[in-house]
Structure 1
């Protein structure tokens, strides 16, 4: 697995990473044994950039990741996040905090769950509109000085916020959704981070699993899978329209001799060496398929075919429900 620079502050990561969210929540029932095996297989394959957050599974995901990687910590470039406040006893409760005092509380809680002394990359998961970004990033910078964090990142931040944050302390990476399914970052955000020397980490490069071609009817998803409820693109007329787009990708994947998931990841990789996607999975089988996507190369004609099959703006529906849409691009 190739190693690449992430941003311009010295971070080196695997060409793709592993998103760990679905191991503990949102995408169906948990299987911690298989998830742990997937994490270890990831390291064996050279996928050493692991992504978690304090909010995933109400902290359970950090516990899982920390316990699993502990014997092999030196191999891992570990990212976690803060800012989303949830309550296990009230799953509907969700707030965002960027208060400086909370930044310190959050990293200490994450390090305790992870059973680690530091994390490599610490993201603000969502921007708090009630706290100036300068104050939040100022507190995050104190974590670097204290040795609890090596590099700083933002997630779903808008161009002006990114610029203001970067003036306080160098930002190593911006994590935002990007795939054939979601291309809004092409309007301004990608140009902004490239201008500033900030790495870009596309999450959900598989469109939350939709681009794999395996989801044809959300009624077949596990009862604990929240995708149909949280993401309008998975329901109603949106679903029907989006399935037509995926069918076109499936045809191109067959023509290329790869799986639709591999084609989707390879397309993201083709957008630039400064992009490090983090496809998520909780199964070794799919991890291995995703890893193989780094070997896929496209001709100019093939990229044009993909563009014609799923042009920018063709996907139907917002990427989050109304509440979620209020938290992005701040």
Structure 2
């Protein structure tokens, strides 16, 4: 697969693999051996960026706890030194409530826990999962600099952060990547970050680049609105109103897919890749066919005119709902 550079020197596959859905947020966790097989197949297909987080904990069909970091750590053992392992910390669920702890003590504990769960000696790219309003970015960045010197992490990044937060953190310890939601249905929030990311040579990792599967053109009626383990039931695009609002985009994606003998997912990923040369999308899937399909998106060519046509249509979307 083609490569892209995050930050100044972190080389990764142009499309990464987001492991979240194997254990968390999309219903019951994928059976462990099957999930490991999917991750290893991703490596065989050329994926070299694998993304997880301490927050990604779910439930297997038998009721056992599914810990995404532990799963990813076991799966990548045969090729650990050939990939970039990314995880996120500083946020966990306690008694079903989200607890954010960006204090140096909390983040250091989070890093140590992730090293143990992943069963690795160092983490290639470690993100603060989300800013803590009670802790200044300079404090977080200083700790990350210490962790880099100690060899516990190699690069650091920030997820779900503002321009001001990124700038202040980057002034203390160089930020390699910023991660946020970005797709044709979620543009505006992340696009506001792009000028400063370009200026400071910070890469951008796009999660949910397929709008949580909406842009794959799969049967959306399969979403169980009452399944508390599947967070898509709360997403605007999976409501009747949201589906109607995004219909024009879905139709254009399907049209371009037919013209280029591609899938809607490949068109959607190709659009993301076209936006900036330092953007790396991390779609997730539990299907081997989709895994291969997503990897092939790097070969889909969208012309400048096609991008303009798509963007004109996208400009009409009410992003306040989808972001």
Aligned to 2:28: 29
| CA displacement at 1:19 relative to structure 2 | 0.5
Q: Structure 1 residues 235, 277: closer, same or farther in 2, change over 3 A?
A: same
- 1:170 partner SS: coil
**Alignment check: 8 A CA contact 1:209 1:215 kept:** no
Which residue number in structure 2 is paired with residue 158 of structure 1? 162
> What per-residue deviation string (whole Å, max 9, x for no partner) do you get for residues 32-72 of structure 1?
22221111011111101000000001670000000111121
Q: Equivalences for 1:229-244 in 2 at 5 Å?
A: 229-244=233-248
Deviations 1:194-218 (A, max 9, x none): 1011011111110111111114335
What's the secondary structure of 1:179's corresponding residue?
coil
Find out whether 1:114 has 2:121 as its counterpart. Answer: no
User: Is residue 238–residue 317 contact of structure 1 (8 Å, CA) maintained in 2?
Assistant: no
Q: Does 1:318 align with 2:321?
A: yes
Asked whether the 8 Å contact 1:218–1:228 carries over to 2, the reply is no
- In the other structure, the counterpart of 2:7 is 7
Match of 1:258 in 2: 262
Normalization by structure 1: what TM-score?
0.90
In structure 2, relative to structure 1, the CA distance for the partners of 1:317 and 1:233 (3 Å cut) is farther
Aligned to 1:80: 87
Q: Distance in 1 between matches of 2:48 and 2:164?
A: 31
SS in 2 for 1:153: strand
Match of 2:276 in 1: 272
Aligned counterparts, 1:31-110, within 5 A = 31=30, 32-57=32-57, 60-87=67-94, 90-91=95-96, 93-110=97-114
- What is the distance in 2 between the residues matched to 1:187 and 1:256? 27
Query: For 2:223 and 2:16, how far apart are their aligned partners in 1?
Result: 30
CA contact (8 A) 2:254 2:264 kept: yes
CA-CA distance at 1:186 after TM superposition: 5.7
Residues 82 and 124 in structure 1, CA contact (< 8 A), matched pair in contact too: yes
Structure 1 match to 2:308? 304
TM-superposed CA distance for 1:301, in Å, is 2.3
Q: Residue 61 of structure 2 corresponds to which residue in structure 1?
A: none
Q: Secondary structure of 2:92's match?
A: strand
Shift of 1:136: 1.4
Structure-2-length-normalised TM-score: 0.92
Distance 1:119 1:290 in 2: 25
- 1:250 Cα shift? 1.2
Unaligned 5+ segments in structure 2 are 59-65
Question: What is the deviation of 1:313?
Answer: 5.0
- RMSD across aligned positions (CA): 1.9
Q: Find the residue that maps to 2:170 and give its secondary structure.
A: helix
Runs of 4+ that moved beyond 6 A: none
- Alpha-carbon shift at residue 311 of structure 1 (Å): 1.4
Q: Tell me how far apart the structure 2 counterparts of residues 223 and 111 of structure 1 sit (CA, whole Å).
A: 32
Structure 1 distance, partners of 2:320, 2:220, is: 17
In structure 2, the CA distance between the partners of 1:298 and 1:228, relative to structure 1 (3 Å rule), is: closer
Question: Quick check: 1:191 aligned with 2:195?
Answer: yes
Q: Could you list the runs of 5+ residues in structure 1 that have no partner in the other structure?
A: 321-330
Aligned length: 315
For residues 186 and 98 of structure 1, do their structure 2 counterparts lie closer, same or farther at Cα, with a shift above 3 Å needed?
closer
Taking the aligned partners of 1:51 and 1:15, their CA distance within structure 2 comes to 14
**Secondary structure of residue in 2 paired with 1:139:** helix
Contact 2:181 2:190 in 1 (8 A): no
Cα deviation digits, residues 55-93 of structure 1 (max 9, x gap): 001670000000111121111100000121212xx22x1
CA contact 1:242–1:315 (8 Å) conserved in 2: no
